[in-house]
Structure 1
Amino acid sequence: MLNKIYDWIDERLDITPIWRDIADHEVPEHVNPAHHFSAFVYCFGGLTFFVVVIQILSGMFLAMYYVPDIKNAWESVYYLQYEVAFGQIVRGMHHWGASIVIVMMFLHTLRVFFQGAYKKPRELNWIVGVCIFAVMLGLGLTGYLLPWDMKALFATKVTLNIVESVPLIGPWLKTLLAGDPYITGAQTLARFFAIHVFFLPAALLLLIGIHFILIRRQGISGPL
């Protein structure tokens, strides 16, 4: 049955050459842990992507129950964690994954930097990677407020004060994020939710796509 479905799709879209090209792509010997023990450092990028996928899937599940308003945000998180089947597990995956993905990206960035993989002809991919890092930090920052508890509220106020200290554009950036130059309330929660769920994920998927295309075209960098 599955073969018939695949043949029907392949006859119309000719997908076999696409996945064959991906599956048959040769991996350089220096990234094979069976041949070189140091090759494990090349796994950081793939592990980062794996955690990102977990974050996206778990975030989609959380968004089904989360209510982004100051009256119901905390209650919806409580209901998700203690009333929904497997809700505590999924929220735990999303919570800890937010920290793990930063650690993995940091290790991946260190590998690229110390092995000189940011040099010609991979400068553009390095810039894209730094942008991905910034987007992931933004996702962590905006997601921290969403449970709408006291810790998240005061931590976000500190963050907004730091943003306000940026020369020239600081007050404008704070108003853009908070929705109001003085109050952290309903507008701030709504904006952080929109940024966390729509704007930053869209930017992340675009940058990851560019990142993978550049890696495929330029190949995996060589050893130190």
Structure 2
Amino acid sequence: MLNKIYDWVDERLDITPIWRDIADHEVPEHVNPAHHFSAFIYCFGGLTFFVTVIQILSGMFLTMYYTPDIENAWKSVYYLQNEVAFGEIVRGMHHWGASLVIVMMFLHTLRVFFTGSYKKPRELNWMVGVMIFIVMLGLGFTGYLLPWDMKALFATKVGIEIAASVPFIGEWIKILLAGDATILGAQTLTRFFAIHVFFLPAALLGLLAAHFIMIRRQGISGPL
């Protein structure tokens, strides 16, 4: 059945050359665990992408039930976790995945740094990777407030005050995140939701596309 579907699509869009280009791409010997025990350190990038995909899919499920409103945000999270089938599992995946993706990305960044993979001709890809790291941290920060409980509220307040202490632009950052209100409220929650669900994911997908294209053009870096 799948072969018939593939043949039907291939006949119209000629996808076989694209698939062959992906499937038949050679992988350097030093990243093959069968030949080199140290090859496992090259897996952190792939693991980061895998967890990112889980975050995207689970996040899409959560947005089907979440209400970005100070009156109903906590109630919608409670309903999702306690009333929706598999809701507790999906929310747990998204919650713990938010921490795991940072750990995987940190390990991937260490591997790139200590193997010198940021050097010529991969300087631009290193900068894109750093921007991806910053976007991921932003996703973690903005997502922390969304359950709208006391822990999230006070932690976000501390984070916003830290951002406000940035020289010259700190006050602008605070207004961007929290709005004009002196306390965290409806405007803050709405902005955090929009940044978390629309702006940062769009930036992340664009940066990931650039990251993968450069990896494909330049190849996987050599061993230390």
Q: TM-score, normalised on structure 2?
A: 0.98
Measure how far apart 1:13 and its partner are. 1.1
Structure 1 segment 99-114 matched on structure 2, within 5 A: 99-114=99-114
Gaps of 5+ in 1: none
How many matched pairs?
A: 224
- The unaligned stretches of length 5 or more in structure 2 are none
> How large is the Cα RMSD of the aligned pairs?
0.8
Alignment of 1:33-44 (within 5 A): 33-44=33-44
Look up the match of 1:152. Answer: 152
Give me the whole-angstrom Cα distance separating, in 1, the residues matched to 2:28 and 2:145. 43
1:24-66, Cα deviation, whole Å (9 max, x unpaired):
0010000001100000000000000000000000000000000
Provide the C-alpha distance between the structure 1 equivalents of 2:19 and 2:174, rounded to a whole number of angstroms: 45
Aligned twin of 2:128: 128
C-alpha distance in structure 2 between counterparts of 1:54 and 1:2, whole Å: 24
Counterpart for residue 18 of structure 1: 18
- 1:155 counterpart SS class: helix
Q: CA offset at residue 7 of structure 1? A: 1.9
Deviation, 1:3, is: 2.8
CA offsets 1:172-193 (integer angstroms, 9 cap, x no match) = 1100111125121000000000
Once residues 27 and 2 of structure 1 are traced to their aligned partners in structure 2, the CA distance between those partners, rounded to angstroms, is 27
1:76 paired with 2:80, answer no
CA separation in 1, counterparts of 2:125 and 2:63?
31
Partner of 2:208: 208
Q: Structure 1 vs Structure 2: percent identity of aligned residues?
A: 85
- Distance in 1 separating the partners of 2:167 and 2:56: 34
SS for the counterpart of 2:69 is coil
SS at structure 2 position matched to 1:221: coil
Question: CA contact under 8 A between 1:58 and 1:94: conserved in structure 2?
Answer: yes
